[in-house]
Amino acid sequence: MTELTTRNGTRVTRFAFGTMQFGGKADERASHDMFGACRAAGINHFDTAVGYTGGASETLLGPMIRADRDALFIATKVGFEGGAGRANILAQFDQSRRQRGEDAVDLLYMHRFDDATPLQETFETLAELQQSGAIRYIGVSNYAAWQVMKAQAVARALGTKIDAIQPMYNLVKRQAEVEIFPMAADQGITIFPYSPLGGGLLTGKYAKGALGRLAEDNRYNARYAQGWMHDCAAHLAELAATIGQDPATLAVAWAARHAAQPRPIISARSTEQLAPSLAALDFVMDDALADRITALSITPAPATDRVEEA
């Protein structure tokens, strides 16, 4: 697996913090406070995107990272809108640089797969940015395993490679276990999964009538609409209560425990909301507890669907 490091050679931490809420649900004060809480906990990896909260995520993050930049690992994304063509990648990367107030970034992701643009064009552009020193590592987000392998072949022919992948992964969204995780392990690609709390579902707050993404965003509502997912969240909360832990702590610790060594991207709207996820950094989950939590969910079938051989 690629060992990603900060500019001063420090290894990237086990968890990353996602700044998707900066400038949105988290105002400037809350954003600063959460950044400080993550640094105090030892986190050095911060994840953003050119379009998060209309650019405010990067605009707020830029000044926060300036004083200790070489000790931090900053990842951003381009291409969620406008495709993966050269012109759009370069335009959005320039916009990202202006928003962050810096010329380079550690890791640049293609935010999603674009089947209308040749992979050669996309990865030639990324390779040029890497060769110029504008980016250090190349990543892909929301790609299927077969899409990564096609892209990896192109990247290697250009003398580079895909270093990181960012898939969705949590207790009720486990499709990544089927092909993405094995593929990443085989290719030496570091996994930075997002949504370890399932849009807040796995905190147990929705069962208590609290509001959040599932109530406010139709995409999240559809993503976690199945009844068994809500049952799983309720059972996780019950289990957490019996052992005196927060369900969010268990959810994040479970997502980090897979043999493929994923490094979850945690996020929140406030330091209070963030605390249980940070607690997962120090929580030791033994095999018995991991098995109990896994049993609450539906394990996806293997890629070949020959379950008798799994």
Q: Which residues are tagged catalytic?
A: 52
Smallest CA-to-CA distance from 112 within 82, 140, 86 is with 140
CA distance 226 to 201: 12
Would the CA dihedral through 53, 54, 58, 60 be positive or negative?
A: negative
Laid out side by side, the sheet with 105-110 consists of 190-191, 164-166, 135-141, 105-110, 73-78, 45-47, 16-18, 265-266
Residues counted in the chain? 310
Phi, psi of 80 (to 5 degrees): -65, -40
CA distance 16 to 73: 9
Phi, psi of 32 (to 5 degrees): -60, -40
